[in-house]
Chains A and B, each alone.
Chain A
Amino acid sequence: MPTNNKRMYDKGMVLAGLVIFVVVVTFPFWYNLGKAAPPPEPVLTEKAKAAEKCVESTEFMKAEHMQLLDVWRDTVVRDAKRAYINPEGKTYMMSLSNTCLDCHDNKADFCDKCHNYASVRPYCWDCHIDNPKETE
């Protein structure tokens, strides 16, 4: 015969333990509450400011630069085509080191700021020279 006697043993200990457990697990959340790191603001070089527009619009570049670079890489390496004509009809050479970094020659203040914030580690710089001017 099943009894309906649902008694909790060591009620006080169990509940106290549960409370401590919840507090410990959620500690990082409430401890850091309101202390979120501010979104990074990449620094534009004088040359980039003077150019006013990147190869595409700023919104597009912010959101899609990785896809753009991926297309660039495949088109240059595999199709041997190196010229990119943007919607305004301006032609750019598709090159990370020679075109992107020509204006944005401050990798630490431009690329790395957001990449570190978002914790992404692109391996572009394993091979591509990261700062064409700094080391000159």
Chain B
Amino acid sequence: MKSSRRRFLKLAGIAALGLGSRPVVDAAYAAVGGQAAPEPKVGRQPEALTAKQWAMVIDTRRFESAADMEPLIEACHSIHNVPHFENKRHEIKWIWETEYKHAFPGKENDFLPWEVKERPYLVLCNHCENPPCVRACPTKATFKNENGIVVMDFHRCIGCRFCMAACPFGSRSFNFRDPRPFVAETNKKFPTRMKGVVEKCNFCAERLAEGKMPACVEASDGALVFGDLYDPQSKVRQVLNDNYTIRRKQELGTSPAVYYIV
């Protein structure tokens, strides 16, 4: 058969018509009443809290000693089945206390007020708006979800620890051992982790989905404020408006979503 431009254009036209006819046929089929079985749907629970970017403000003036932070850390670690290892090199932490010089290196002016310098600071994953750990992860096991939370998908984590190298805040811990025997009392509603995955704070994504505030915020008696950073009416925005705040290692450009009133 001789092929010509005319013939080619004809065939192309018919092919395009064929490709475009699918929705028409489907609509006609549905109109005739040939409905397939109803599809199951997925959605959010009606009580779920959502935000463009969840953020936290920590009023460090409210924490004078490590004992003040203990209930918050305990609340978090107990509901998330965070194991307790005696060996510091195996330590797993989601939220913990540290010193000023470690929380805010580069902000150590001479002659800082004594209480600012000596007070303990509560640190956790900053859920950065520009998270370096997410860029480093080769399997997309860690990603920024639609609420701005930097989430770990433990199913996908291969334990390469690139994210730990990428995180400038040391917010991530690696399970060098099976953590289960080291969880004092397991919360049956939340999974544990297995050997060989990285873990970190998840801003209580599972609690926000049920309409609850994060466990540490709930246990803080108002010292921690949580809300949507991009909602001008939110509580965090009010607190940010009323107080001068600082963030950890802001100069690195990761844009942490955890703010500190000092």
Instruction: Give how many B residues have a beta carbon under 8 Å from the other chain's beta carbons.
Output: 28
Q: Tell whether B41 is near chain A: CB-to-CB under 8 Å.
A: yes
Choose one: A80, A129, A135; the contact of B192 (CB below 8 Å): A129
* Contact of A83 with B44 at beta-carbon distance under 8 Å, contacts A73-B155, A78-B143, A78-B153 already known: yes
Choose one: B39, B44, B189, B194; the contact of A87 (CB below 8 Å): B39
Cβ–Cβ < 8 Å partners of A98 in chain B: 189
Nearest Cβ on chain A to B79's Cβ, whole angstroms = 13
Contact (Cβ within 8 A) B40 A77: no
A78 to B147, CA, bound (A): 11
* Contact of A85 with B42 at beta-carbon distance under 8 Å, contacts A78-B143, A98-B189, A135-B188 already known: yes
Contact (Cβ within 8 A) A80 B194: no
A75 to B45, CA, bound (A): 13
Contact (Cβ within 8 A) A127 B40: no
Choose one: A79, A83, A86, A123; the contact of B45 (CB below 8 Å): A83
List residues of A (82-136) whose CB comes within 8 Å of B's CBs.
82-87, 91, 93-94, 97-98, 123, 126-129, 132, 135-136
8 extra interchain contacts, Cβ-Cβ under 8 A, other than A71-B42, A81-B43?
A: A78-B143, A78-B151, A80-B145, A83-B44, A94-B42, A127-B192, A129-B191, A136-B188
Name A's B-contacting residues (CB within 8 A). 56, 71, 73, 75, 77-87, 91, 93-94, 97-98, 123, 126-129, 132, 135-136
